Amino acid sequence: MRQTEASDAATRLAAVRETLARAAALAGRPADAVTLIAISKTIPADGIVPLLEAGQRAFGENRVQEAQVKWPALRDRYAGVVLHLVGQLQSNKVADAVALFDAIHSIDRSSLVQALGKALAASNRRPDCFLQVNIGDEPQKGGCAIAALPALLSEARAAGLPVVGLMAVPPADTEAAPYFALLAKLAKDHGLAQLSMGMSGDYETAAMLGATHVRVGTALFGGRQPA
Ligand SMILES: *Cc1c(COP(=O)(O)O)cnc(C)c1O
């Protein structure tokens, strides 16, 4: 890690935190109402270290296997890391995910709810669970249909999942705000306090519309290598 790369990462982190704090303040929310999750998918460990050195502790990954390779050693060096899974989860990876992650944002179907229920019962782990909603009703996109949310939520609660909130990725290349507002309404209607929404291009908007977790990758790390 060259010194300039490290200071670049710290500078970007400070800028994102400042933007978030300003957006929260405009909406009358305290700055600590929004958790910044640094999405470190495809970033090697030595690209993550500068953010850890700068005090960042919440990180997100989208692949269980990649996270298993990178994070145990980083966690040994830095106390207090909170790891979020934001990518699609296969049922056969559920036990590994439960062992490693402190929060799972991508719960979007009955089979996954059932697999998670079993994995939690067999472990002493209680990761925060977010149900992912296909908020723009897009084909091929992860997330349960809006109309299917009530049933999935009941099922998840019955299966013993600690469901804390909703997560969504709005359609690309459109104004995200209406989708964020819709997700916030759904969460409120269902008594869920947490909202995982907002990425590099729109985290400021999300923070103004009630996000409790924003998932920011490129704005912190710069461009990703193709996966
Ligand atoms: C990659 C990813 C992000 C971060 O995206 P950026 O645009 O790089 O900030 C957020 N959420 C999910 C689900 C992702 O896969």
Task: Say if ligand 1 is within 6 A of residue 142 CB.
Answer: no
Residue nearest to atom 12 of ligand 1 (CA): 86
Number of domains making up the chain: 1
Residue ID of nearest Cα to ligand 1 atom 4: 217
Global pTM? 0.96
200 lines ligand 1 (CB under 6 A): yes
Q: What is the pLDDT of residues 168-220, one digit of tens each?
A: 999 999 999 999 999 999 999 999 999 999 999 999 999 999 999 999 999 99
More confident call, 223 vs 107: 107
Chain segment 143-152, per-residue pLDDT in tens:
999 999 999 9
pLDDT at 223: 73
Q: How far is the CA of 122 from the centre of ligand 1 (A)?
A: 31
Token duo for residue 185: 């309404």
CATH code, domain carrying 18: 3.20.20.10
Instruction: Look up the domain containing 159 and give its range.
Output: 3-221
Ligand 1 atom at shortest distance from the alpha carbon of 41: 1
**Residue 226 is assigned to a structural domain of this protein:** no
Work out the pLDDT band at 83, boundaries 50, 70, 90: very high
In a domain, 227, yes or no: no
With 80 as the cut, is the pLDDT of residue 225 above it?
Answer: no
For residue 105, the ligand 1 atom closest to its alpha carbon is 13
